[in-house]
């Protein structure tokens, strides 16, 4: 699904060019130039026992959101999701490329969230990137609703049946 201007549109084609200079090809979006990095964000939703893997903002350790970040030029969405989660949380995940939640906001920011699960049955938290200073925790959906991206999280969690 592609959410634009609060209307959800089902994407039926496997190849589509979006008007902000990105192409959707087999559920992967690639920036068409290095300067487009800031216009595409990738997040990951991992649910465990009714709680969601989350990380706080660097400057506010009470403001929880999903792990994720900006897509680097030349990187696929799945590569970005895995890299960002490992950098921010220390966990290796398997990312489900099917049925992501996507939203293009009024400023041209494209955000996509994939469901994921741990890469192993006994996940081991590795050390996080030194530049990452957010706290990692499993939180309930109300905590995600109250964060900086609460409006996005409400629609996204509904998309995934939560």
pLDDT tens, residue by residue, 64-113: 999 999 888 788 889 999 999 999 999 999 999 998 999 988 877 889 99
Tokens of 16: 């589509």
Higher pLDDT, 19 or 159: 159
Instruction: Give the closest residue to 42 by CA, choosing from 110, 92, 88.
Output: 110
Task: List, in sequence order, the alpha helices (H) in the chain.
Answer: 77-89, 141-145, 150-159
Instruction: Give the closest residue to 94 by CA, choosing from 124, 64, 114.
Output: 114
pLDDT, tens digit (0-9, with 9 covering 90-100), for 25-49? 443 455 666 665 457 899 999 999 9
Q: Which residue shows structure tokens 């400057």?
A: 59
> What does the pLDDT average to over 106-133?
85
pLDDT at 146 (0 to 100): 96
């Amino acid at each position: 699904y592609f959410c634009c201007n609060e209307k959800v549109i089902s994407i039926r084609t496997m190849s589509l060019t979006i008007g902000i200079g990105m192409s959707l090809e087999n559920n992967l979006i690639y920036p068409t130039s290095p300067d487009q990095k800031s216009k595409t964000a990738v997040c990951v939703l991992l649910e465990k026992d009714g709680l969601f893997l989350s990380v706080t903002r660097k400057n506010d350790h009470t403001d929880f959101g999903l792990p994720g970040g900006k897509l680097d030029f030349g990187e696929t969405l799945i590569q970005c999701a895995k890299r960002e989660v490992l950098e921010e949380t220390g966990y290796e995940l398997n990312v489900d490329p099917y049925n992501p939640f996507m939203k293009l906001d009024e400023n041209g920011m494209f955000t996509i969230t994939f469901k994921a699960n741990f890469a192993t049955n006994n996940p081991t938290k590795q050390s996080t990137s030194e530049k990452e200073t957010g706290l990692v925790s499993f939180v309930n959906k109300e905590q995600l609703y109250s964060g900086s991206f609460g409006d996005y999280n409400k629609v996204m969690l509904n998309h995934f049946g939560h």
